[in-house]
Chains A and B, each alone.
Chain A
Amino acid sequence: MINNSIYIKSQQEVFDVVIVGSGAGGGMAAHTLAKAGAKVCVLEAGQPFDPADPKDMTQMKWPYESLRRGSSSSLRNFGDFDAAYGGWDIEGEPYTRKEGTKFDWFRSRMVGGRTNHWGRISLRFGPDDFKRKSIDGLGDDWPIGYDDMKPFYDKVDKMIGVFGTNEGLRNNPDGYFLPPPKPRLHELMIKKANKALGIPTYPSRMSMLTKPINNERGQCFYCGQCNRGCSAYADFSSSSVLIKPAVNTGNTTVLPFAMAREVMTDPITGLATGVSYVHTGTMMEYSVKGKIVVLAASAGETARLLLNSKSSRFPNGIANSSGVVGKYINDSTGASRSAIIPSLFDRKRYNEDGVGGMHVYTPWWLDNAKLDFPRGYHIEYGGGMGMPNYGFGWGIEGLNGRENFTRDGIKKAAGGYGATLKEDYRRFYGAYVSFAGRGEPVPREDNYCEIDPSVVDKFGIPVLRFNYKWSDYEVKQAKHMQDTFEEIIHSMGGEAMGKKPGAENNYGLADPGRIIHEVGTARMGNDKKTSVLNSNCQAHDVKNLFVADAAPFVSQGDKNATWTILALSLRTSEYIIDQRKKGNL
């Protein structure tokens, strides 16, 4: 709907802080600042979401309660019950890619952003992850190190809750862990197979409350559905764990449907004065004033906002005198394989839903100095007797004709129909395992996102154009993942599914963006010529402008990004409070 009378309304109130985005980074900033007494306004482009509100709740629904039996749709790309409103493509909000390059961009448009459905694998970085250049000469060091971050990781562990075990691993540091759930059957089998191969397996580290930690949140009751959002608030999502209490302080105003357009600046001082936005429902234009602006719209969106906030003072976009905004974008590498384990055929049934995700994982265990690729990866495991969903039983014709897959060892014709086919489905249920490697790429200046010179979205906001290519480093790492997966599968007595990915398809290396850990678009550093933010995530060029998502990351680590987003946002927020107290802001 185009409103004929587009007019700009500006809010009289001046907030202490205006935050753009309510995901991991924005939620933590809002929570920390509001608790400290600041008047906070959060602009969120998406709609409200509360997993305990029956209107939004999908937890505990059966597949037959979905018309499409839990399959994905254009409005929910990870399945009909998944708590991500949005996806790889959002109607009216395009993004583009430079010719010959690839990048897929997953966006959630809702309060809490992508933390409503994320995997909740909650890994802090280790000392090496901040100092890669010092170790191998590639990429850059962060301007801070693990010792700077440790107190904030510790606080995040205690505030949000994460299960795991202290293993004394140097680059996968100990934390404050709740008890982990015991491994499931296939996870014990993986552990045993790995042991024989010298691959370590540890309890996973994930943010579900296996023990209650306060009165506002319940305890996990093991439904295995965290990606739908937990009605007991026993899993971490920014909406229920950070935004809700931030609002309860009385100091936070959350504006859903508010798509930030630009950071506004004072032409004389060059300081940020607030944010202009368009209401996504009415298409009316607004602005909201703040003494401090914090961008946490996700690494991609934050770069887009910075680049789109142009003025005579900031012709290349605000905070971009270095020209570095958008550059060095990097996503985790990813490759995967699945297998069927004949010893699990006809297995005894019991409830093994567990938490929503794996109970064990493998952190990076090798020395890159002895390998032909410079950075590591960790392995995530899947499998078990999960709730049947759309896709169940698909492709049985590729399985039930295999000699060693029949109950009595007699070869049966593949495919078929009737009562014996039904037996096959029962037999194979719960016999699958899957392996996913998630690794660290080497960030590169020539991987970047920029403003597309000719395309705008339905709000008239210029869109992002990505330019991203993997290098040989990442391809070789994916090859190593594939070899490792096959070793584990064979060691388990399993049969790998499908053809082993090879050189012809980069060893199954997922296209850039597919792992949804994009970071690095406004990196921090001590030199304002080669970085956008200083070591406190404060813009070198604009002292009351901060970034609190994954844009400040100098590198990815072989860990998933979110625990570091949370710790960094907490650190930045405490810095803001401190500087306000000192009268520096």
Chain B
Amino acid sequence: MGLSSLGLAVFNPDEKAIENLELGKVPVKRPNGRTQEEAEMEAKLKAEIFLNAHELATITILSDIIIPADKKSGSASQSGVTAFIEFIVKDKPELKTPMRGGLRWLDVESNKRFSKNFTELTPAQRLNIVDEIAYPGKTPKHLSQGESFFTLMRNLTATGFYTSKIGIADLDYKGNTPNQWNGVPDEVLKQYGLSYDA
């Protein structure tokens, strides 16, 4: 306790000691930029195991179908999307069942068609399923749950990828750096037929 950098005084410096004594536990170390409560919540989330190795392997393959490497940048899995999804479904528990159930739906569909789990299919076999659930509005009626799952995967993959180092470079986001804002570059103003004098 005590706001040393702001020079704030507190009446009872012994309070922290009492607090720790009474809690009877070693406090989780507080990383920079996190409050104590956040540090404890995140330590707990990180320790939790939800998705298993098979599920994570399936996520990796699917995410690379959604965001493969191309001329400009790497793939979803190269950017760390699998680890992101592993964490985020624990952090947002409402995603747990749609993710787990969706992955199982996919394996069941794979087995119906090819008698194998999705991870064991050939790339062409995988696309045989994906092509039927990747285009909302065109999905065969009986596969609508697959479409919902694939949409969730697309959203999570895109968010994970474009908030990664690789994805931010791919988007060519130029900010988050000290600068002097002097307005829209001239050639851009010209391109849009705008000016600061109007």
A residues sitting closer than 8 Å to B (CB atoms) are 1, 3, 11, 47-48, 50, 52-58, 60-65, 67-71, 73-76, 81, 85, 111, 181-185, 188-189, 191-192, 195, 221-225, 239, 243-244, 247-248, 253-257, 279, 281-282, 284, 286, 343, 347-355, 385-397, 401, 413-419, 421-422, 425-426, 429
Q: Which residues of A contact B187 (CB under 8 A)?
A: 348
Q: B30 interface residue, CB < 8 Å from A?
A: yes
Contact count A vs B, C-beta below 8 Å:
248
Contact A254:B196 (CB < 8 A) given known A57-B32, A350-B185, A417-B134: no
Contact A248:B7 (CB < 8 A) given known A386-B175, A418-B66: yes
Q: Which residues of B contact A417 (CB under 8 A)?
A: 65-67, 130, 134, 154
Contact A247:B70 (CB < 8 A) given known A69-B160, A352-B184, A414-B135: no
Q: Give the nearest-CB partner of B2 in chain A.
A: A48
A73 and B188 alpha carbons, distance in the complex (Å) = 38
A390 and B45 contacting across the interface, CB-CB below 8 Å: no
A389 and B163 contacting across the interface, CB-CB below 8 Å: yes
Contact A385:B136 (CB < 8 A) given known A257-B1, A392-B162: no
A75 and B163 contacting across the interface, CB-CB below 8 Å: no
A26 and B45 alpha carbons, distance in the complex (Å) = 37
B15 and A282 contacting across the interface, CB-CB below 8 Å: yes
A388 and B162 contacting across the interface, CB-CB below 8 Å: yes
A221 and B70 alpha carbons, distance in the complex (Å) = 35
Most buried by A among B19, B46, B163, B165: B163
User: Apart from A63-B163, A67-B42, A247-B8, what 4 extra A-B contacts exist at CB < 8 Å?
Assistant: A182-B182, A182-B183, A351-B174, A387-B176
A48 and B8 contacting across the interface, CB-CB below 8 Å: yes
A85 and B8 alpha carbons, distance in the complex (Å) = 19
A415 and B35 alpha carbons, distance in the complex (Å) = 39
B138 and A413 contacting across the interface, CB-CB below 8 Å: yes
A279 and B45 alpha carbons, distance in the complex (Å) = 29
Per-residue contact bits, chain B 142-155, to A (CB 8 Å; 1 contact, 0 not) = 00000000110011
Contact of B188 among A185, A253, A392 (CB under 8 A): A185
B38 and A73 contacting across the interface, CB-CB below 8 Å: yes
B77-120, CB < 8 A from A: 80, 84, 87-88, 91-92
A281 and B67 alpha carbons, distance in the complex (Å) = 47
B170 and A426 contacting across the interface, CB-CB below 8 Å: yes
Sample of 28 A–B contacts (CB below 8 Å): A11-B11, A48-B3, A48-B6, A48-B8, A53-B5, A55-B30, A58-B33, A62-B168, A67-B87, A67-B91, A73-B38, A75-B37, A76-B38, A192-B198, A223-B175, A223-B176, A224-B175, A281-B16, A282-B15, A343-B192, A349-B174, A350-B174, A352-B181, A352-B184, A353-B175, A387-B168, A422-B68, A422-B170
A3 and B3 contacting across the interface, CB-CB below 8 Å: no
A221 and B173 contacting across the interface, CB-CB below 8 Å: no
Q: Which residues of A contact B134 (CB under 8 A)?
A: 415-417
Contact of A396 among B1, B154, B161 (CB under 8 A): B154
Contact A390:B175 (CB < 8 A) given known A50-B5, A256-B10, A281-B15: no
B136 and A415 contacting across the interface, CB-CB below 8 Å: yes
B175 and A188 contacting across the interface, CB-CB below 8 Å: no
Contact of A221 among B18, B35, B179 (CB under 8 A): B179
A419 and B75 alpha carbons, distance in the complex (Å) = 10
* CB of B185, distance to nearest CB on chain A (Å): 6
A243 and B73 alpha carbons, distance in the complex (Å) = 47
Contact of A188 among B6, B15, B66, B194 (CB under 8 A): B194
* CB of B134, distance to nearest CB on chain A (Å): 5
B181 and A247 contacting across the interface, CB-CB below 8 Å: no
A48 and B5 alpha carbons, distance in the complex (Å) = 10
A177 and B115 alpha carbons, distance in the complex (Å) = 71
A62 and B87 alpha carbons, distance in the complex (Å) = 17
Q: B22 interface residue, CB < 8 Å from A?
A: yes
Q: Which residues of B contact A48 (CB under 8 A)?
A: 2-3, 6, 8
Q: B172 interface residue, CB < 8 Å from A?
A: yes
Most buried by B among A75, A388, A419: A388
Contact A419:B192 (CB < 8 A) given known A224-B175, A396-B154: no
B50-65, CB < 8 A from A: 65
Contact A397:B136 (CB < 8 A) given known A57-B33, A349-B172: yes
Q: Which residues of A contact B196 (CB under 8 A)?
A: 182-183, 188
* CB of A50, distance to nearest CB on chain B (Å): 5
A399 and B61 alpha carbons, distance in the complex (Å) = 25
Q: Give the nearest-CB partner of A22 in chain B.
A: B8
A353 and B176 contacting across the interface, CB-CB below 8 Å: yes
Contact A69:B67 (CB < 8 A) given known A222-B178, A353-B176: no
Q: Which residues of A contact B164 (CB under 8 A)?
A: 63-64
* CB of A421, distance to nearest CB on chain B (Å): 7
Q: Which residues of B contact A222 (CB under 8 A)?
A: 178-181
Most buried by B among A1, A60, A352: A352
* CB of B161, distance to nearest CB on chain A (Å): 8
Contact of A415 among B3, B91, B154, B174 (CB under 8 A): B154
Q: Give the nearest-CB partner of A389 in chain B.
A: B163
Contact A111:B15 (CB < 8 A) given known A185-B184, A221-B178, A352-B181: no
Q: Which residues of A contact B66 (CB under 8 A)?
A: 417-418, 421
Q: Which residues of A contact B8 (CB under 8 A)?
A: 48, 111, 247, 253-256
A422 and B138 alpha carbons, distance in the complex (Å) = 20
A255 and B1 alpha carbons, distance in the complex (Å) = 10
Q: Which residues of A contact B122 (CB under 8 A)?
A: none
A56 and B178 alpha carbons, distance in the complex (Å) = 19
Q: Which residues of A contact B19 (CB under 8 A)?
A: 1, 281-282
Q: Which residues of B contact A181 (CB under 8 A)?
A: 181
